[in-house]
């Protein structure tokens, strides 16, 4: 078991509010696994890019968990696609932080998303420690399932992802389906891939009083409610829900989230679409919600809908089920793992609003309460404790394999630091 892990999350901070900007499930994953690792006695330092001049250099989140805000480029106004230009500056900040410690301070590097993988590749090589990488999403997968009006991922990202796949000691994926994609799209070595299911905070996301939750949100206790939680962008397909609910005159739609990605180009697009469809009076818009506020949203809904065009797992689906709320989700990515079709909710092939309206109506007619107990039991199998059990297994394999290789291969020392000869020296 490692003593200390350097976690890299370049483009979004684990302390950011999920549901807006680039903050989403990955933020939750990084923070919750760090907290769980710390409880096991493993110290975690998370490196992310500072986005405000007021960001402190170091934030102690909990005993054993630090977030380091690295200054790299302008604090504001940088789109995610602009961040590759700041990777050198970010890498320099990460290396400077490590240089204040004795050699061997970190035992392993875990990078999240391809931008972090580029930094992790260099840092792990410089420190002569293994690199574990979690992609979370892949450019080729997203581009194959683009929503109307969405922008494709740039070729640079696909190239960068291939480089990280080639260099990482181990690759962590959310589902077996994602593992198969890594092999088919990036020719990843299956023996270096570990499937680690994400988790849910089962102490926070629990069943509760639906009537009280609706009262807190000002919702009619008798009207069927369908909820959407997430970033407002074409990839997440909230517009499909609006068009589906327009076919269900008795249903209210609750949308919680903020504009993100290409959705920033038309921040009022959903409001305008609701007016165009004539359902403004049946749609409630909420800003991004804190975890405690999300619990009320999940409990208030009869159904939580996840209509994404691409989703590596779908934490929202598991959180909702932990609260006893069935989920209707697109049959894409990891959602068929997160939702048991016909048991804890339903899966929909495609994004035709008519199909979505029919499926939502069927679940409502059957009585969502009939799926509630199964949803709770299913969600209980996705704990952060179980996620970290699997993470530690992967870390252990990465460290053992790395040590085995370096016992067989020569290393050189410069200035008291070890350099790997396997990939060449990088200063």
User: Residue positions in the annotated binding site for UDP-N-acetyl-alpha-D-glucosamine?
Assistant: 17-18, 25, 231, 236, 289, 311, 319
The length of the chain, given as a count of residues: 427
What are the binding residues for 1D-myo-inositol 3-phosphate?
11, 22-27, 80, 113, 137, 157
80, burial (CB in 10 Å: exposed 0-12, middle 13-18, buried 19+): middle
Phi, psi angles (nearest 5°) of residue 247: -90, -5
CA dihedral (320, 324, 328, 330) positive or negative: positive
- Could you tell me if 327 and 212 are in contact, meaning their C-beta atoms sit under 8 angstroms apart? no
Positive/negative CA dihedral, 217, 218, 221, 224: negative
Which residues sit in the known binding site? 11, 17-18, 22-27, 80, 113, 137, 157, 231, 236, 289, 298-299, 301, 311, 319, 325
Count of helices and strands (H, E) across the chain? 15, 16
Can you spell out the DSSP letters for 268-333? THHHHHHHHHT-GGGEEEE----HHHHHHHHHH-SEEEE--S--SS-HHHHHHHHTT--EEEES-T
123 sits in which H/E element: helix 113-127
């Amino acid at each position: 078991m490692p003593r200390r892990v350097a976690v890299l999350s370049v483009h979004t901070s684990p302390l950011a509010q999920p549901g807006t900007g680039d903050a989403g499930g990955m933020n939750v994953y990084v923070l919750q696994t760090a907290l769980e690792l710390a409880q096991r006695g493993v110290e975690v330092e998370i490196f992310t890019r500072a986005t405000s001049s007021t960001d402190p250099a170091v934030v102690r989140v909990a005993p054993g968990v630090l977030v380091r805000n690295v200054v790299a480029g302008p604090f504001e106004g940088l789109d995610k696609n602009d961040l590759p230009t700041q990777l050198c500056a970010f890498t320099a900040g990460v290396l400077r932080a490590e240089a204040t410690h004795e050699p061997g301070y970190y035992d392993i590097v875990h990078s999240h998303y391809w931008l972090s993988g580029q930094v992790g590749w260099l840092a792990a090589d410089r420190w002569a420690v293994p690199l574990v990488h979690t992609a979370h999403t892949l450019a080729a997968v997203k581009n194959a399932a683009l929503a109307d009006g969405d922008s494709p991922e740039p070729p640079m990202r696909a190239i960068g992802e291939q480089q990280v796949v080639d260099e990482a000691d181990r690759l962590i994926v959310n589902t077996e389906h994602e593992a198969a994609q890594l092999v088919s799209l990036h020719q990843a070595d299956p023996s270096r891939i570990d499937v680690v299911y994400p988790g849910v905070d089962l102490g926070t996301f629990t069943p509760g009083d639906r009537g009280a939750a609706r009262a807190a949100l000002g919702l009619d206790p008798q009207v069927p409610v369908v909820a959407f939680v997430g970033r407002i962008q074409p990839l997440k397909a909230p517009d499909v829900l609006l068009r589906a609910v327009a076919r269900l005159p008795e249903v209210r739609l609750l949308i919680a989230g903020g504009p993100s990605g290409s959705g920033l180009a038309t921040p009022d697009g959903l409001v305008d679409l609701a007016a165009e469809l004539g359902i403004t009076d049946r749609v409630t818009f909420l800003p991004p919600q804190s975890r405690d506020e999300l619990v009320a949203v999940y409990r208030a809904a009869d159904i939580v809908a996840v209509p994404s065009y691409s989703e590596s797992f779908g934490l929202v689906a598991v959180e909702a089920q932990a609260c006893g709320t069935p989920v209707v989700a697109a049959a894409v990515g990891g959602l068929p793992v997160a939702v048991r079709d016909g048991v804890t909710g339903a899966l929909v092939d495609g994004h035709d609003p008519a199909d979505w309206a029919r499926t939502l109506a069927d679940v409502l007619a059957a009585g969502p309460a009939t799926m509630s107990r199964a949803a709770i039991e299913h969600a209980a199998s996705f704990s952060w404790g179980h996620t970290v059990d699997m993470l530690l297994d992967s870390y252990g394999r990465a460290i053992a394999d790395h040590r085995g290789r370096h016992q067989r291969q020569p290393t050189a020392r410069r200035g008291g630091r070890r350099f790997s000869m396997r990939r060449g020296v990088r200063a």
